[in-house]
Amino acid sequence: MKSTLGTDMLLVRKRQKEKAFLVLATLAFLFSLIVLFTLIIDAFLDGLPRLNLKFLTSFPSRKPEEAGILPAMVGSIYVTVLTVLFAIPLGVGSAVYLEVYAPRNRLSAAIEASIATLGGVPSIIYGMLGLELFARVLQLGRSLLAGSLTLALLVLPIVIVSTRESLRAVPQSLWEAALALGATRWQALKDQILPVAFPGILTGIILTVSRAIGEAAPLIMIGALTYVAFLPRGVLSPFTTLPIQIFNWVSRPQKAFHANAAAGIIVLLAITLSLNALSIVLRNRLEKRTPRTL
């Protein structure tokens, strides 16, 4: 009888702890949402009056009412596209090798641990690496190519980890069935495994785009310009991006420049959400076309 009462008391205490934890987690979630929406609403209230076609199609100026974000907007799109072109093939290929072909030994374990560690390295460290490797050693200077390669290194761990998790999510029975029918490992991977895992890989691409388009610290380290009155003419051209332009405007004392920064934040949010929405639509379509596995 006493043991039954003791068990019931333990169950009651566990349920109370679970409820308390749920309440704390819910409050933390609501607090984060309130802060986020407060910042977004504040940016919209300050930036919407400044947001117009002239603002989107004008070059920066020392006069806040004449300043625009065209070079920064074009630079952000160029840098993001180049980063994706560099990071996705290299990251997906590395993940496929580590997950499918690499032998299970100490070297593979060390590489996997290094990739997991690199995912938590501050972005400013990648900026210092890009400054030394791409800007100085390879003599790429303050170019789009140097900035894109630096951001590609930054987001590479995200691509590798998300791709490996997507490959692991594919049922082992699909591998076994393809190999039992006489397919080689490459044929099974190309025709069966990757099409099933691709929606998950696309999720990693979404995270890559979101990370790349919002980074400023690595680009500042390699010497991206804060004032650009021209559009990039090639991958070796100097450039700026929206986060750097916003940082430049926020650092100025005039309130009119702060309104420009708020308008730039709105544009950056619109570009990021548009690219993410496009990736999500593509992922959903691929999931519908992909046959369900047992």
Task: Tokens for 243, please give them.
Answer: 């986060």
Least confident of 8-17, 39-48, 244-253, 279-288: 279-288
Q: What is the pLDDT confidence band of residue 5, given thresholds at 50, 70 and 90? A: low
Mean pLDDT rounded to a whole number for the chain = 84
Q: Could you read off the pLDDT of 98-157 as tens digits, one per residue?
A: 888 888 888 888 888 888 888 778 888 888 888 888 888 888 888 889 989 999 999 898
Burial label, 187 (beta-carbon count in 10 A; 0-12, 13-18, 19+)? middle
Handedness of CA 92, 95, 100, 103 (dihedral sign): positive
Handedness of CA 93, 94, 98, 102 (dihedral sign): positive
Q: Looking at residue 290, what is its pLDDT?
A: 58
Query: Which tops the pLDDT comparison, 214 or 38?
Result: 38
Task: Tokens for 73, please give them.
Answer: 């907007």
Report whether 211 contacts 155 (CB < 8 A).
yes
Question: pTM value?
Answer: 0.82
Q: Looking at residue 140, what is its pLDDT?
A: 86
Q: Looking at residue 90, what is its pLDDT?
A: 92
The predicted model gives 169-173 an average pLDDT of 85
Report whether 185 contacts 211 (CB < 8 A).
no
Task: Tokens for 63, please give them.
Answer: 């006069």
Q: Could you read off the pLDDT of 81-95 as tens digits, one per residue?
A: 899 899 999 999 988
Q: What is the pLDDT confidence band of residue 252, given thresholds at 50, 70 and 90? A: confident
